[in-house]
Amino acid sequence: MMLKRFSIIFILLVVSFCCFYLFSGNRVPHPISSLEKLIGNRDDATQWHKIKRTKKVKGVALVVHGLNLKPARMQSIITELNDTGIDVLNVSLRGHGNNYTKNRRLSDDEARLESFQTVTYRLWLEEIYTAYLKVRQRADKKRVPVFFVGFSLGGLMGCDLLLLQHDVSYDRMVLFAPALNITMECHLLKALMPFPNMVIDSLSPIYYRSNTGTPMAAYKALFEAVNHFNKNANDKLNKPALLFIDEKDEFVPFVELNEIITQKKLDRWRVHVVRKDNYIGENISHHLIIDQDSVGRKMWQQMKEAIKKHFNIDEVVKSRKTVIPVKAGIQNLLK
């Protein structure tokens, strides 16, 4: 099935190259809405999942989903964090979940996809940064560590934000197949950049998708994030990090990911190889590794135990450095 879809993408690439060279001289730039309108209602971009009041808060975590993934599918991870005593702020990037502009002429699904077609790298960065400030504020109030958890695009954007903003700091990170680099097959999609509204069918099962497919505008934002990360990666990334990755991942090359860790001297990053149970169906990609449904019961149990050990609060407190006060604003991004 996946081979068939890649064949379709290849055909689209050939057609798009022809169209680009034939008509690029007459193309009218796609209109871009104002940044303020795109950001929309901040309440639609984040949702708190706090532990019971009877328990002591041991940390606060920022959780960011993957490209075209329903933010609610991060619930298994959120539940594990809550059980460990960690409050969680779950982010819905623009074009996902409830973070989209309502339109009376369109259904909710159509309106969400329309918003997805207007996203940019900067917009997503600002949304994550705004969410981070909320997490930092609560962590400072409770005097507890700040954690970051991200899957695929979310992992990439969280790391990129860490590089961009001097006031951003995480005590520890958990990264699920972070898209710090992507396979050559994914890079072929760049040929479709002249068509930001074109929607590419998703490879994920429908119950994981936020939308039926992913528009080229979203892929463009992803490519920009990957490029920025690889040009600016430095030792600020060397925080204690637990990285989950399947060696057969179709979108994040396992070997190249390990090369990044070595080249950037990220000696505080630990890779946990994910091997899925045999019963997982063909429609579940190796890239999708965020819950029991996607990796199997036995593997998910191992992953949960690794997360719990990584977020051992006593160890975190001992290794904590001075917290950088939050003074910068969103306007500092990408200066």
Nearest to 89 by CA among 143, 42, 37: 42
- Kindly state the average pLDDT of the residues 115-138: 97
Lowest mean pLDDT among 109-118, 130-139, 150-159, 319-328: 319-328
> What confidence score (pLDDT) does residue 320 get?
62
DSSP at 41: -
Report pLDDT for 264: 94
41 against 150, higher pLDDT: 150
Span between the terminal Cα atoms of the chain, in Å: 43
Burial class (CB in 10 A: 0-12, 13-18, 19+), 159: buried
The model's pTM is 0.84
Higher pLDDT, 124 or 25: 124
Q: Are the CB atoms for 210 and 238 separated by under 8 Å?
A: no
CA 178 to chain centre: 7
Q: Could you report the per-residue pLDDT of 46-95, keeping only the tens digit for each?
A: 999 999 888 899 999 999 999 999 999 999 999 999 999 999 999 999 99
Q: Which domains does the chain have, with CATH numbers?
A: 43-184+224-278+285-313 (3.40.50.1820)
- Residue 303: pLDDT above 50? yes
CB atoms within 10 A of CB 99: 25
Residue in the block written with tokens 């790391």: 159
Element (H, E) at 121: helix 121-142
- Whose CA is closest to 202, among 298, 316, 67? 67
